[in-house]
């Protein structure tokens, strides 16, 4: 079963995106490079609780 996670910008801490994560890879946090509308640029987004 997949778990729903929220991604937050590493610079402004704004929670912009949500995605799912497979049950086999729950040990480490996911990181993505995505566009942050608050910052106005591409930043690293990390998994939050």
pLDDT digits (tens, 9 = 90+) for 3-46: 899 999 999 999 999 999 887 766 788 899 999 999 999 999 99
Measured CA to CA, the distance from residue 10 to residue 44 in angstroms comes to 6
pLDDT at 40: 95
Q: Which pLDDT belongs to residue 25?
A: 60
Nearest Cα to 12, choosing from 42, 41, 39? Answer: 39
Report yes or no on whether pTM surpasses 0.95. Answer: no
Structure tokens at 32: 């993505």
Contact present, 44 and 24 (Cβ < 8 Å)? no
The full set of domain ranges for the chain reads 3-17+29-48
């Amino acid at each position: 079963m997949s778990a729903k996670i929220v991604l937050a910008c590493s610079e402004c801490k704004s929670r912009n995106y949500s995605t799912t994560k497979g049950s086999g890879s729950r040990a480490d946090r996911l990181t993505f490079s995505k566009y942050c509308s608050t910052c106005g640029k591409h930043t690293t987004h990390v998994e939050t609780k």
